[in-house]
């Protein structure tokens, strides 16, 4: 994409390990915003960054004291970010979350949404502040969960919703005072990294066919790693 002039342009550090990171990076560059550095452990993301002449690091702590940026964007990133790194961007840090906050904080939220029988799901862009996934919201996008949805197809919907809502994030970050909506943490639920379905996800054939197929769908990632 060809970058265009933007009088409200900002600079950002990108941190992530998936193709979504690349897609958002392309959107930033197309809007005339600068990518100060890329932090990734993914070969495809690294190749994209190096192809655009961007500084690329595997360890975010290498940026401390050596790079200046307005924002840090954590996109498809599962690593906790040290406080020393969060202090690098002048204006703050933002995270993409593949669940509707505050009800689905934590990890593997598309799978838990299917297991819990949700008929809608969503994605959230939020400030990195307070506890995990607790920061104020910049943008959210919601969509239906189909009766035969698998976690693979729901993750694909999350990806599409992330792209669709990222324009709103860019627009807000270009403002001097981005509008942020506080989360109602009384509605919060959290799914930890080691949380698993009951009984090691063994199928219980005393349950209804619907519950059995729901569990199968919730654990069906296709051939995705």
Kindly report, residue by residue over 181-213, the tens digit of the pLDDT: 999 999 999 999 999 998 889 999 999 999 999
Q: In the prediction, which pLDDT does 6 show? A: 55
Give the pLDDT confidence of 107-133 residue by residue, as tens digits: 999 999 999 999 999 999 999 998 899
Residue 5, pLDDT > 70, answer no
Give the pLDDT confidence of 131-144 residue by residue, as tens digits: 899 999 999 999 99
Q: Is the pTM of this model over 0.95?
A: no
Give the pLDDT confidence of 46-94 residue by residue, as tens digits: 999 999 999 999 999 999 999 999 999 999 999 999 999 999 999 999 9
Q: In the prediction, which pLDDT does 152 show? A: 97
Residue 43, pLDDT > 50, answer yes
Residue 3, pLDDT > 70, answer no
Instruction: Please give the Cα distance from 186 to 188 (Å, whole number).
Output: 6
Residue 1, pLDDT > 90, answer no
Contact 70, 94 (CB under 8 A): no
Q: At what angle do helices 151-173 and 19-30 cross, to 10 degrees?
A: 30
């Amino acid at each position: 994409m060809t970058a265009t002039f933007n009088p409200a342009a900002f600079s950002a550090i990108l941190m992530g390990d998936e193709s979504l990171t690349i897609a958002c990076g392309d959107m930033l560059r197309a809007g005339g915003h600068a990518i100060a550095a890329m932090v990734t452990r993914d070969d495809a993301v690294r190749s994209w960054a190096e192809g655009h002449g961007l500084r690329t690091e595997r360890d975010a702590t290498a940026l401390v004291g050596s790079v200046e940026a307005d924002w840090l964007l954590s996109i498809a990133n599962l690593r906790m970010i040290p406080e020393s790194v969060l202090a690098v961007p002048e204006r703050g840090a933002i995270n993409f979350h593949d669940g509707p906050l505050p009800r689905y904080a934590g990890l593997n939220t598309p799978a838990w949404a299917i297991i819990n029988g949700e008929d809608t799901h969503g994605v959230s862009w939020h400030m990195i502040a307070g506890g995990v996934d607790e920061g104020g919201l910049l943008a959210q996008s919601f969509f239906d969960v189909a009766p035969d949805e698998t976690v693979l197809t729901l993750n694909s919907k999350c990806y599409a919703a992330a792209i669709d809502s990222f324009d709103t994030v860019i627009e807000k970050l270009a403002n001097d005072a981005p509008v942020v909506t506080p989360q109602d943490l009384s509605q919060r639920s959290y799914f930890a990294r080691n949380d698993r379905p009951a009984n090691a996800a063994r199928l219980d054939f005393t349950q209804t066919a619907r519950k059995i197929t729901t569990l199968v769908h919730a654990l069906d990632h296709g051939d995705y790693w």
